Structure 1
């Protein structure tokens, strides 16, 4: 019996009362969870490399962080150390899942935190949750980022006429499985939206898990429109209105609110990967970003650190703890007109 099939069989046989909860959080391949004195660990197995997440601080708290380890146990940066490309042909990309579909906590790679853990966004001292704008509940895709990309705030895009938002490229993964926070997923790119968020360019890459049943049928933006009617329109609506309950105006989009195709999206990825290289090699203003990593040989200054130093960053972070309660207000519906 295949290894992960055997493990799932054993889970069903001996701990059936928690198997459904474990299954709900499994990635496309398989995930196992370990509980140790150092915190909660979740391991993701892919065809060529495994990453494990290390949770620190109590969930739903200002101290909560999700760090990453590679298959050797070394702490790595999901921003700088995880490679952009997942295959030698450079046609499949690694995506770091920050927010599983249907959840509300606005989690993101901390670009200014050492080793760039995932943390929850904070506004006015409070943890940030996206509102449920009827009929959407939480995020309507698995949401995350492409590693080794950066939207340079010093660069004005020739099409949007706006500068970058100082973050890695955002990705909306549109497959059917609900991913887990911290999962490193292999995706193929299908297109992009050009959102303008408070005067900044904020590209949204549309992609699908290569293991999804629809992946063979989806190769470009037109395929989404054919196979998943209404999905792109709902994606535009979600991004347009999601900040309105917080008192913000409707977001706008370049290109007359039309999506761009795969070729255009690949150009944006290539451009932002180049901007990340300028960043990591010190050829542009770092804008407060932490460049600490353990693998990038071209790193400027002393930013390439040893495995021991990287481990000490995690060891010095707050200890794990029980999850804090979440306010029932997070589940409230908000009714927003998109016009």
Structure 2
């Protein structure tokens, strides 16, 4: 299964969009039409890359727009960018979402005590390659962080591209701690402080900011899995 993209408009403008096509050239939704699983038997998931590592533009799947293209988030008429919060430069991983998932704003999570943020579940991909906007990659899930963003549950899945040359060495969150020392601490620090330059308070976390393991993360993803008909019925 392969996918291609079509860019419209210029980057860093309100009109910029990235649309997705299937292998036969038909327009598809990255939210609804790309399968959640790349290999269900191996618990390998698809990830739609919204924000390449080290960049600052806050790009996201437009869940309310026809065909759900990727576009830059807007607030009060202005394009949104994340600040460089020392010592970090932009996003510190390839950042994106798992298709056919949705954090239900009408459901209170038993673990966090908060409802979902009305978006697909987020992924931080920690491999070596800097991906491109709109890439659809296959990832191995390693763990998850439970961020609480303005009172909403906002899970952050930690994963690695299965095509990364070191992917075989990463099989759980403990491997990230061992092989990339400081990376998980930097991840918590980034999510805690990235909105502070915009005048927002620091974000909070469930589980005292501790990462949950691969099995917990996989079950969390499965719990957010929805088909298009369920989503449209709820919205």
1:248, CA displacement in angstroms? 0.2
* SS, match of residue 86 in structure 1: strand
Is 59-68 or 240-249 further displaced after alignment? 59-68
Q: Residue 218 of structure 2 is aligned with which of 263, 266, 276? A: 266
TM-score using structure 2 length: 0.97
* Equivalent position SS for 2:89: coil
- Alignment partner of 1:83 out of 26, 32, 35: 35
Q: How far apart, CA to CA, are the structure 1 residues paired with 2:39 and 2:186? A: 31
| Alignment partners' CA distance in 2, 1:94 and 1:283 | 21
Larger fraction in strand:
2
- Supply the distance in 2 between the matched residues of 1:280 and 1:147 (Cα, whole angstroms): 14
1:184 pairs with 2:173: no
Gaps of 5+ in 1: 1-48, 287-339
Does 1:133 find its partner at 2:82?
Answer: no
> Are 1:236 and 2:185 an aligned pair?
no
How far apart, CA to CA, are the structure 2 residues paired with 1:77 and 1:168?
Answer: 13
Q: Distance in 2 between matches of 1:214 and 1:246?
A: 36
Corresponding residue for residue 280 of structure 1: 229
Q: Which residue of 1 aligns with 2:58?
A: 106
- Match of 1:238, SS? helix
- Aligned-CA RMSD value: 1.2
| CA shift digits 1:52-101 (9 cap, x unpaired) | 11111222111111000011000000000000111251521100000000
Matched residues in 2 for 1:223 and 1:202: separation? 23
* Unmatched runs of 5 consecutive residues or more in structure 2: none
Residue 166 of structure 2 is aligned to residue 214 of structure 1: yes
Q: Give the Cα separation in 2 of the matches to 1:282 and 1:194.
A: 23
Deviations 1:172-207 (A, max 9, x none): 000011000000001000000000000000000000
| Alignment partners' CA distance in 2, 1:131 and 1:139 | 9
| Superposition deviation, residue 214 in structure 1 | 1.8
Whichever of the two has the greater Rg, that structure is: 1
Question: Number of residues paired by the alignment?
Answer: 235
Q: What are the residue-to-residue correspondences of 1:48-59 with 2, within 5 Å?
A: 49-59=1-11
Q: Distance in 2 between matches of 1:238 and 1:210?
A: 25
